[in-house]
Amino acid sequence: MTDRLTPELASKFASLALAHLTREYPNKLTHSLEGPHDVQGPRALHPIFYGSYDWHSCVHGYWLVLRVLERYPALPEAERIIAVVDAHFTDANVAGERAYLALPHNSGFERPYGWAWLLALSAQLERLALKGVVPQAARWAKTMAPLTDLFIARFEAFLPKATYPLRVGTHFNTAFALALTLDFARATQRDGLAALIVDTAKRWHLDDVACQAWEPSGDEFLSPALMEAELMRRVLPAGEFDGWFARFLPDLARGEPATLFVPATVSDRSDGKIAHLDGLNLSRAWCQRSLAGALPEGDARRAKLLDAADRHLASALAHVAGDYMGEHWLATFALLALDA
């Protein structure tokens, strides 16, 4: 099993994403209706992000294809990636997405998971534009800027009134959303947003100690414990993080809590909720690798985390394709793990 992104895996992931980015059905809408006029199909509601089974998976599907294109510009799928993005990232389509989001009853649409992925996509577009890998990327980034600005504003309005974090291992997890958004803010020099996220993360998590890690739950694709640590790794200076991490998971060097070191069992990959557990194994591998990288050589926790990451990745990487319930999203989390 490879533990890094290869051209072959990049091509596989790109092909998987291209097969679902414009696949409108099946589709799981998260849609509030104010009246009969709101009964519309996915593409009418979301002129860009109508595929991939749901809105947020379509967003990070675009992130995925652009990320692998950056890594391997000569991919066999490169021409198709550029064509699909170019056809969808238009001023008219962005206006359509914004019109949906502007409706009063949609102010919380996709909070916080989809918000964070849209900003991650924006950061990827800006990175492509700066590198000059794809000539169209600067235009795409400019076209998507109104959506970027909208979700920045929504985070800035929401976080000051969010008294508590959400620690579940699903889309509502706030640590995951803040980690991605902090990466975006720093990469694109949004200093005010970055400061807000740092302050919010400290307010929520700085005093957390002796995490019990009661996980996994049966439909989780994120580890509440490891994801919180991964957020705080970004937030705190290295020396301060080491102390926080030692208090948060004090028995990590002994392999405890043991549940964090055992890959989840996935009993039915055709069940969309149970299939989340493949994503849990991939996202744990991502966090375990990233956290290990923040620890010094010779630290017993580092070896434990890297061993667990290898086992989690091995348990899930073969299952990114095979059933649409996982196929429409798992490659994104495989890429996060492989790139960590």
Range of the domain at 108: 1-29+41-161
pLDDT tens sequence across 40-61: 999 999 999 999 999 999 999 9
- Is residue 186 in some structural domain? no
pLDDT tens sequence across 139-184: 999 999 999 999 999 999 999 999 999 999 999 999 999 999 999 9
* Whether residue 152 sits in one domain with residue 7: yes
- Is residue 325 in some structural domain? yes
- Is residue 268 in some structural domain? yes
**Is residue 162 within a helix (H) or strand (E), and if so which, with residue range?**
none
pLDDT tens sequence across 4-39: 999 999 999 999 999 999 999 999 999 999 999 999
* Whether residue 112 sits in one domain with residue 59: yes
Grade residue 75 by pLDDT with cuts at 50, 70 and 90: very high
CA distance 279 to 316: 8
Q: Is the pLDDT of residue 1 over 70?
A: no
**What would the mean pLDDT of 215-237 be, rounded to a whole number?**
98
- Is residue 183 in some structural domain? no
Average pLDDT value for the chain: 98
Query: Between vectors from CA 176 to CA 312 and to CA 63, what angle results, nearest 5°?
Result: 85
* Whether residue 130 sits in one domain with residue 21: yes
pLDDT tens sequence across 93-113: 999 999 999 999 999 999 999
* Whether residue 151 sits in one domain with residue 80: yes
Single-letter code of the amino acid located at 231: L
Buried b (16+ CB within 10 A) or exposed e, 109-130: bbbbbbbbbbbbbbbbbbbbbe
Choose between 1 and 192: higher pLDDT.
192
pLDDT tens sequence across 264-313: 999 999 999 999 999 999 999 999 999 999 999 999 999 999 999 999 99
* Whether residue 337 sits in one domain with residue 260: yes
* Whether residue 228 sits in one domain with residue 81: no
| pLDDT number for residue 290 | 99
* Whether residue 287 sits in one domain with residue 210: yes
| pLDDT number for residue 2 | 76
- Is residue 166 in some structural domain? no
As a whole-number percent, the residues of the chain with pLDDT over 70 amount to 100
State pTM to two decimals: 0.98
Q: Dihedral sign for Cα 326, 226, 305, 263, please.
A: negative
| pLDDT number for residue 19 | 98
